[in-house]
Amino acid sequence: MISYNGLLEKFKELLKNNALKFTKQRELILKFLYQNKGHYTPEDIYMLLKQQHPDVNIGIATVYRTLTLLEESHIVSSISFGIQGKKYELGLKKHHDHLICTQCGKIIEFYDEIIEERQEEIAKKFNFKMTGHTMKIEGICEACQKAESEA
Amino acid sequence: MISYNGLLEKFKELLKNNALKFTKQRELILKFLYQNKGHYTPEDIYMLLKQQHPDVNIGIATVYRTLTLLEESHIVSSISFGIQGKKYELGLKKHHDHLICTQCGKIIEFYDEIIEERQEEIAKKFNFKMTGHTMKIEGICEACQKAESEA
DNA sequence: CTGACTGCAAAATCTTTGCAAAGAC
DNA sequence: GTCTTTGCAAAGATTTTGCAGTCAG
């Protein structure tokens, strides 16, 4: 896993290459996603940052703009979780898919080599040049099943 | 594949069981999805229905309400296609996944036994009671690749 | 008749945009 | 200094809701 400093350098490099500027707000959002491994909506990030850094002024629009920038740069990735809305996570990890508990909202990541291979083959079969893929398994997690059976 | 009449009966039965009413608008939406195999946003359906049935008054709110009802009843299913928004399709077919061309928006359906099996296994591994799953492969379709290389 | 359904318009979300001031380089 | 970025508030886009009239059963 890349270190935060490594990530920061990468981000600064990217900004420089595109004549963009390194700002406190952009740094905070990047750092937040690095430190808080998980899946967040723009609103989540906005609220938590305001709370954790009352000294820094930050607007929701900046969060949206920065997330878009980070996503275009392939530093973060997003995924839509139905009712829970679109969520962002640091996208530097190895590619992975998600299990979502429809009851409590818990998200588990997994990686399966066989599925990855099949996806490649399917894309090939239809002459698609694959650029990405998402797979979500919805269900009830262990804890919620237990809670249910006890109720 | 179920016939339209069969589907209609199923729908009426369901309405009756829930003390709901069978209306012209609900019928039109169901028929539209049956006759037009494909993926549509609520807006698409609304516009096309207005066009095809200028005599019947129908509001966008009714389209939303009916699609929600049909989805809850597992007669239609929805999937979010990123920039193209949330789309609905008749959900009576065998389960299938989607290939999406990010260039032209074409959607191709596919079914892969091996992927299905792996999904079951993964759910089991994490002790999830699987209730559904979605898999989307994004890429550039054959036609768009050609158009690109010729440009 | 009774209660559900409908269209409409207003409201609620969620996301983007215009703009003047502030900040990075 | 110059040009990007920011926060704010307004504007958009999409979806939901309240309501009075309409319609199915």
Domains of chain B, by residue range, sit at 1-93, 94-151
B79 and chain A in contact, CB less than 8 A: no
Contact A136 B140 (CB under 8 A): no
Q: What is the DSSP letter of B95?
A: P
Among 1.20.1730.10, 1.10.3720.10, 1.20.1270.10, 1.10.10.10, name the CATH number for the domain at A1-93.
1.10.10.10
The length of chain B, given as a count of residues: 151
| Residue among A83, A112, A92 at smallest CA distance from A8 | A92
The pLDDT, as a whole number, for residue A84 is: 83
Secondary structure class of B125 (helix, strand, coil):
helix
Minimum CA–CA partner of B102 in chain A = A131
Question: Is residue A148 predicted with pLDDT exceeding 90?
Answer: no
Residue B148 has pLDDT above 90, yes or no: no
Q: How confident is the model at residue B84 (pLDDT cuts 50, 70, 90)?
A: confident
Searching chain B, which residue's CA lies closest to the CA of residue A118?
A: B115
Query: Cα distance from B52 to chain A (closest Cα, Å)?
Result: 31
What's the pLDDT at A129? 95
**A82, A112, A125: residue with CB nearest B122:** A112
* Residue B149 confidence (pLDDT) above 90: no
Is the pLDDT assigned to residue A53 strictly greater than 90? yes
Statement: residue B6 has pLDDT above 90: yes
Q: Percentage of chain B surpassing pLDDT 70?
A: 100
Q: What is the structure's pLDDT at B95?
A: 86
Q: What is the mean pLDDT of residues B26-51?
A: 96
pLDDT of residue A150: 83
CA distance A52 to chain B (A): 31
Which fold does the domain B94-151 belong to in CATH? Dna Ligase; domain 1 (3.30.1490)
pLDDT score, position A56: 92
Reported as a single tens digit per residue, the pLDDT across A74-130 is 999 999 887 788 999 998 778 899 999 988 889 999 999 999 999 999 999 999 999
pTM for the structure as a whole: 0.90
> Do the Cβ atoms of A147 and A140 come closer than 8 Å?
no
A142 and B123 within 8 Å at the Cβ level: the answer is no
Could you check: is the Cβ of residue B61 within 7 Å of any atom of nucleic acid strand D? yes
Residue B5, chain A, CB below 8 Å: the answer is no
Cβ of residue A147 closer than 8 Å to a chain B Cβ: no
Per the CB < 8 A criterion, the answer to whether B43 and B67 are in contact is no
Select the residue of A112, A133, A139 nearest B129 (Cβ to Cβ). A139
Hey, what are B22's tokens?
Answer: 């069978």
Beta partners for residue B78, in sequence order: B88
Residues whose CB is below 7 A of strand C = A 15, 21-24, 41-43, 60-61, 64-65, 68, 85-86; B 15, 19-21, 23, 25-26, 56-62, 65-66
- Count A/B contacts: CB-CB distance under 8 Å: 110
- Minimum distance, in Å, between the CA of residue B135 and any CA atom of chain A: 4
> Distance between CA B2 and CA A151 in Å, rounded?
38
Which segment of A36-40, B123-127, B147-151 scores lowest on mean pLDDT?
A: B147-151
* Residues B87-111: tens digit of each pLDDT: 999 987 788 999 999 888 899 999 9
pLDDT at B1 over 90: no
- Position A86 scores a pLDDT of 94
- Per-residue confidence band for B83, with pLDDT thresholds at 50, 70 and 90: confident
Of B94 and B44, more confident = B44
| B123 contacts on A by Cβ (under 8 Å) | 99, 137, 139
Handedness of CA B1, B7, B13, B19 (dihedral sign): positive
Q: What is the pLDDT of residue B99?
A: 95
Q: What is the pLDDT of residue B94?
A: 80
| Burial of residue B116 (number of CB atoms within 10 Å: 0-12, 13-18, 19+) | middle
> Sorting pLDDT into bands at 50, 70 and 90, what band is A43?
very high
Backbone angles phi, psi at B39, to 5 degrees: -120, 125
